[in-house]
Chains A and B, each alone.
Chain A
């Protein structure tokens, strides 16, 4: 069949251009693991491999997609961009749809690991709000489709903490020592401390980093632990009272624990957007596009936004939300920053973070 041959050629080409000469071995193994079932009625490949953040989709999305298209979806999850990048760095990962954060897409593009998207297979693209149709890390959105956006902030138990924390400095205050957590993410922790001093989340200035590091070590004494999204469970049961957390996860926790508040500190914090992308050499690109197009439907987008607690870049979906989740206005945007991939400066940040963790 022409489809299979094109697929095979594309796969072979991708592998040949890939890291090392022993590509054929990978091709053989990939072929062995490949599908022997026929394509679906819509001309899509019979299966799809999606790799997304954990707790980052509505419970029915995948199942409904499978039912509508006949494509069988394998859905795996990761907990951090770094985990995703590490798995992709290991060559042909076999995933068709991945959902990195903006700076992750930057890194992947720099390594040439993403394939350009085919807009003709994304008729629902028109639903994307104009604000999200372009991105600094992916000019023209040639490689990505916006998925969700969110901000980092502070989540706290209203019944245990008063007055509400409004500044990153709360982590330097020993009053609630042992009841606070920050994210297990060097960019977020050091970034917060940088922001506290009026610096940028994307700085490469050694002096600024050094001060942030010192502050982070001071804060560490008051922290219970560094925990990322999993801190939700502890906020709900009350082991943790104050947590640096992402807006969507805070919202998810709030549905189980109404006594939860969330706010962006006065000094400002991070705003981030995650987007769907297709790795180069993905075995099922047509199904990948079909999935991304499915997610861009207003009802599907709204369901995802409701389930994850994050904001949706899909204006048609946003209109369907019972409680609006408006994108930050100009005033708020002024104190929010997008994270950029730091390239060579990553080593500097890593060392600072290791120092904090080893302290």
Chain B
């Protein structure tokens, strides 16, 4: 075959083979991921076209607009909801990860049952929430039947609904990294603590928790970052009343026809995401007490 001599030649120049392997995928990502984002960056500093799009020129007004209390409030609410979602997810998810790490017989099933929602359509799961929380939905109907309430509870279209939807959507994102971290924990350390007289809670606080910190941080970021950019959840569960950054951005590209401002908002969001990502990468570099590899 003609391929062999060619490959042999390439094999002697490792750089060339690597380049060939990297080229198509990298090219695709450059063209369809990086370039669009760069175009957006350019748009964010150009004046707004009257009907959408941009006109020629250079301006920082769109970024400056963000310091308006109105938009700061939206950013604030977004961070608050994402933060609350992260905290709740940790509180609910850590015990689950711990139990999975310690179980023997059921480990695989338990993991599968966490992985499944992780990959299931976000839209469908959000609809499931709507179905439950509606005034005429399942929860209200049962509560009314049981006589516990006389008027349906308003659960849908509240900040609580958005928060519940966010946690429901992102909880699995915490469980998996924390589990991975706990699973790599050397049991010998805990046995040592025990034999030195530490009680369960102390052993947890001083040995397990610090050692699972990298996984915990990774999980928190895996929840916080997408929650920040959330668009569907506040849209469907918030009744268009709770404006988050994702909705604001979408709004600028449709109703408001202000593409540059939307682009600027996107970059502010990206900035927050990149900071979080950098924090994550730095903590992953210093991970003590783990078994190597």
Contact = CB atoms under 8 A, between A and B. Distances in A.
A351 B70 contact: yes
A239 B70 contact: no
Given A239-B136, A354-B70, 9 more contacts: A82-B255, A82-B257, A89-B51, A224-B154, A225-B239, A226-B240, A346-B256, A347-B48, A355-B70
A135 B248 CA distance: 34
Contacts of B287: none
Contacts of B157: 224-225
Nearest to B235: A184
Nearest to B253: A86
Interface size class of B (residues with CB under 8 A): 20 to 34
Nearest to B157: A225
Contact of A225 (B51, B71, B241): B241
A226 B239 contact: yes
Contact of A85 (B52, B136, B240): B52
Nearest to A186: B255
Interface string B216-249: 0000000000000000000000111101000110
A82 B248 CA distance: 14
A63 interface: no
B77 A358 contact: yes
A347 B243 CA distance: 18
A344 B70 CA distance: 21
Given A82-B257, A224-B154, A238 B136 contact: yes
B164 interface: no
B70 A86 contact: no
A358 B70 contact: yes
A85 B256 contact: no
Contacts of A89: 51-53, 257
Nearest to B240: A226
Contacts of A347: 48, 256, 258
Interface in B231-286: 238-241, 243, 247-248, 251, 253-258
Interface in B60-93: 70-71, 73-74, 77
A83 B254 contact: yes
Contacts of B243: 354, 357-358
Contacts of A186: 255
B291 interface: no
Contacts of A220: 241
Contacts of A257: none
A356 B257 CA distance: 18
A111 B258 CA distance: 15
Contacts of A358: 70, 73-74, 77, 243
The 6 A-B residue pairs with the shortest CB-CB distance, nearest first, are A225-B239, A350-B256, A226-B240, A225-B157, A239-B135, A82-B254
B154 A178 contact: yes
Interface in A133-175: none
Q: Interface of chain B, helix or strand or loop or mixed?
A: loop
B239 A85 contact: no
Nearest to B134: A239
Contact of B257 (A181, A223, A346, A357): A346
A346 B261 CA distance: 14
Nearest to A341: B51
Nearest to A178: B154
A33 interface: no
Given A186-B255, A226-B240, A239-B134, A343 B50 contact: yes
A176 B157 CA distance: 16
Contact of B52 (A80, A86, A350): A86
B230 to A, nearest CB: 15
B236 to A, nearest CB: 10
Contacts of B240: 184, 225-227, 357
Given A85-B52, A89-B51, A223-B241, A237 B257 contact: no
A82 B251 CA distance: 9
A319 B114 CA distance: 61
A117 interface: no
Contacts of A178: 154
A227 B238 CA distance: 11
Interface in A101-118: 107, 110-111
A358 B76 CA distance: 11
B241 A357 contact: yes
Contacts of A350: 251, 255-256, 258
A28 to B, nearest CB: 16
A157 B85 CA distance: 37
Nearest to A352: B70
A156 to B, nearest CB: 16
A346 B251 CA distance: 13
Contacts of A80: 254-255
Contacts of B135: 239
Nearest to A346: B257
B53 to A, nearest CB: 6
A85 B70 contact: no
Given A224-B157, A354-B251, A237 B256 contact: no
18 contacts: A80-B255, A82-B254, A85-B254, A86-B257, A89-B51, A89-B53, A178-B154, A184-B240, A186-B255, A227-B239, A239-B136, A346-B50, A354-B71, A355-B70, A357-B241, A358-B70, A358-B74, A358-B77
A218 B134 CA distance: 24
Q: Which of B70, B243, B256 has the most CB of A within 10 A?
A: B256
B162 to A, nearest CB: 12
Interface string B162-204: 0000000000000000000000000000000000000000000
A72 B31 CA distance: 34
B62 to A, nearest CB: 11
A351 B156 CA distance: 26
Interface string B33-61: 00000000000000010111100000000
Interface in B107-155: 134-136, 154
